[in-house]
């Protein structure tokens, strides 16, 4: 009897949470993908939505993290790769993303916002770098090239969203100016990746 009461109570609690989640989803401008997702019982624990990327602090943190990853991945390529094209690409990425961080820093200064860029990788990016470093010598170059396509697509999406909807004019200008360069790098990464298709 007690077990049946517990099961019924758990079912009622689950339905209540689902109903609450549906009410939250109908408010605001949720995307179709967000509406299709199962509601989280703890909204505070959910991953930030792309809308958060329109805030200067979130954008700057993500952009700087991407730059740090590119620089560190390029350093890893310099010690691990034997492929001339991969090494040349990585060297270009290291220089470009060092320049990007300098541009972002200048945009933040011009905006007057009290933002400090990270000097170490986020856990997510560190995990990606660690994963790359564990690749075998035979798979390393392909894994790097594959990762570069994904990283630059994510970077391009970030820049384009902020350039359109960002909350700081100076940082929006930086994002708009940087997006075409990232598009160029994405095209280069896709070409590099094609070289490893079996």
Q: What is the pLDDT of residues 72-100, one digit of tens each?
A: 999 999 999 999 999 999 999 999 999 99
Q: Are 156 and 179 in contact (CB under 8 A)?
A: yes
Alpha carbons 198 and 196: distance in angstroms, whole number: 6
- In the chain, which residues have pLDDT < 50? 1-49, 198
Residue 167, by phi and psi: left (phi above 0), alpha (psi -120 to 50) or beta?
alpha
pLDDT of residue 190: 95
User: 148 and 69 in contact (C-beta within 8 Å)?
Assistant: no
The reported pLDDT for the residue numbered 52 is 84
- Enter the pTM of the model: 0.73
The pLDDT tens digits of the residues spanning 33-47 come to 444 343 344 444 444
Give the C-alpha separation, 180 to 58, whole Å.
21
- As a residue count, the chain comes to 198
pLDDT of residue 195: 85
- Which 8-state DSSP code applies to residue 47? P
> Can you tell me whether residue 42 is helix, strand or coil?
coil
């Amino acid at each position: 009897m007690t077990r049946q009461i517990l099961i019924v109570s758990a079912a009622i609690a689950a339905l209540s949470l689902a109903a609450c989640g549906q009410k939250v989803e109908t408010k605001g401008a949720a995307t179709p993908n967000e509406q299709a997702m199962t509601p989280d019982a703890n909204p505070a624990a959910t991953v930030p939505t792309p809308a958060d990327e329109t805030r200067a602090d979130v954008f700057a943190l993500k952009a700087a993290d991407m730059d740090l990853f590119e620089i560190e991945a390029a350093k890893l390529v310099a010690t691990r790769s034997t492929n001339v094209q991969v090494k040349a690409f990585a060297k270009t990425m290291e220089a470009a993303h060092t320049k990007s961080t300098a541009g972002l820093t200048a945009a933040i200064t011009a905006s007057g916002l009290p933002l400090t860029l990270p000097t170490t990788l986020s856990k997510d990016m560190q995990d990606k770098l660690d994963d790359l470093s564990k690749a075998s010598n035979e798979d390393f170059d392909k894994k790097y090239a594959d990762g570069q396509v994904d990283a630059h697509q994510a970077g391009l999406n970030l820049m384009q969203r902020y350039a359109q909807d960002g909350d700081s004019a100076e940082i929006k200008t930086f994002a708009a100016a940087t997006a075409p360069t990232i598009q160029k790098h994405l095209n280069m990464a896709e070409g590099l990746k094609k070289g490893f298709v079996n």
